[in-house]
Amino acid sequence: MELIWYLVILAVVAIAAGFVGSLTGIGGGIIIIPVLVIFFNVPLVVAIGASVITILANSATTGSAYLHDRLTDLRIGMFLEIATVPGAIIGAVLTVYLVHADLQDALLVALGIILILLAVAGLRRIRDDAYAVAVPDRRSRRLGFFGSYHDAQLNETIAYQAADTNRALGIMFAAGLVAGMFGIGSGVLKVTALDDALKLPIKVSTATSNFMIGVTACATTGVLLAAGYVNAVLAVPVAVGATAGALMGSYILPGVRSRTVRIAFTLVLVGLSIELIIRGLGGP
Amino acid sequence: MPQTPPAAPHRELPADAYRDMTRILRIGLITALVILLGGIVAYLAENSSIGFRQMVAQNPIVHYLGLDALAQGLATGQPEAYLTLGVLVLVATPIARVVTGLYFFARNREREMALVATTVGILLFVGILVIGPFLR
């Protein structure tokens, strides 16, 4: 088969992944790496390189929409990037080191386990916008980590303030590390830090997480690109397809969060992750 | 019991901070996608006989990661050089957003937040320009 047809198939798969990922709220990018490795026999680190390009394109699309709506807390987002960026750089360096040490199989097993954990965590965490009252810590008060946003559905202004910044920094470093190692957005971990540690409303958490994912992916992409593991010919159809699919999902079916689709998507992701683990363990 | 400091007077970032960052992300994304799509069309036109596995194994852009090679490739119309440029624009977009944040925090006289943005910028430059090439 000619190269162009491989790229067309990749773009179609990426559109479907982006569409369903947007519909379920899990994100389609997470499924791209296992698909590239299992069905296209792409080396894991090259698949990671294609995935981070996809995340960069996706976060610029969704991040700018949230910024435009002023749901993003710029101050909190930029502060937490102090933890995610070094995490991502260390993660990307670890991945390159493992590849150079011929330990890709260990990386495949680790990725399979991480994807299963994130898929299950993604299923668990849907809740409404009622959030616990936050007690701001010293840093949060000093840096002015509080704000408000207008909730169009409730038609009221919601005020918030950030709580435990030390715990949030710790979780964000872990999120950066996972994102850098495996080329995924780690949105679930980032939202956990913003939601559970800082006690921000879920809409602000989601918007701020999207804002941060771009800079985290930028750190990972920069390291992998300079190390020679970003293949643009492979990445372009995946990035364009996944971004188009995500846009279609958000425009065609706004607000739809079908539990059935979400569970089906999670099952597919878990199945692909198990295949990654089997391959990493030397299975057929 | 330790005294908690009083909350700092909340300086709302001006509306143009949000507007400018939104514009930077959109312009960066569109510019990158136009260059990348143009590059891939030209690449496919010039490399119609190459196989998928060969393309993955070779990584067409790897020779254009240095400034001299990139400039020469762009000047001579090499599709791989344009693909590299598109990726670089995509990577530069969040960095431009961080620099814009630094500008607005400095303009708003928020020294600590300006320091935060500067630190993020330095970390990105160290990761991309120092650590990455060292791994090649």
Per-residue pLDDT tens digits of chain B, which is 136 residues long = 344 444 444 567 788 888 999 999 999 999 999 999 999 999 999 988 899 999 999 888 988 988 899 999 999 999 999 999 999 999 999 999 999 999 999 998 889 999 999 999 999 999 988 887 787 7
Instruction: Name chain B contacts of A141, Cβ cutoff 8 Å.
Output: 4-8
Contacts A215 to B, Cβ<8 Å: 94, 97-98, 120, 124
Instruction: Determine the structural domain holding residue B54 and report its residue range.
Output: 15-134
Alpha-helix runs per DSSP H in chain A: 3-24, 29-40, 44-68, 74-100, 104-124, 138-142, 165-182, 187-192, 202-226, 232-252, 259-280
User: Quick one: which of A186, A168, A17 has its CA closest to A117?
Assistant: A186
Q: From the list A92, A228, A240, which residue is nearest B33 (CB)?
A: A240
Give the one of A6, A68, A146 whose C-beta lies nearest to B10's C-beta: A146
| B50 occurs within a structural domain | yes
Q: In the A/B pair of chains, how many CB contacts fall below 8 A?
A: 207
Distance CA B20, CA B135 (A): 35
Q: Which residues of chain A have pLDDT under 70?
A: 22-29, 122-133, 250, 252-259, 283-284
Domain count, chain B: 1
Whether B9 is covered by a domain: the verdict is: no
Tell me the pLDDT tens digit for each residue of A60-87.
888 888 888 888 899 999 999 999 999 9
pLDDT at A257: 54
Asked, for residue B22, whether it belongs to a domain, the answer is yes
For residue A146, list its beta bridge partners: A161
Global pTM reads 0.89
Provide, as residue numbers in chain A, all residues whose Cβ is less than 8 Å from the Cβ of B135.
93, 96, 223, 226-227
Both tokens of A91, joined, read 């993660």
Instruction: Return the structure tokens found at A18.
Output: 């982006």
Amino acid at A50: A
User: Who among A1, A93, A232 is closest to B83 (CB)?
Assistant: A232
CA distance B81 to chain A (A): 10
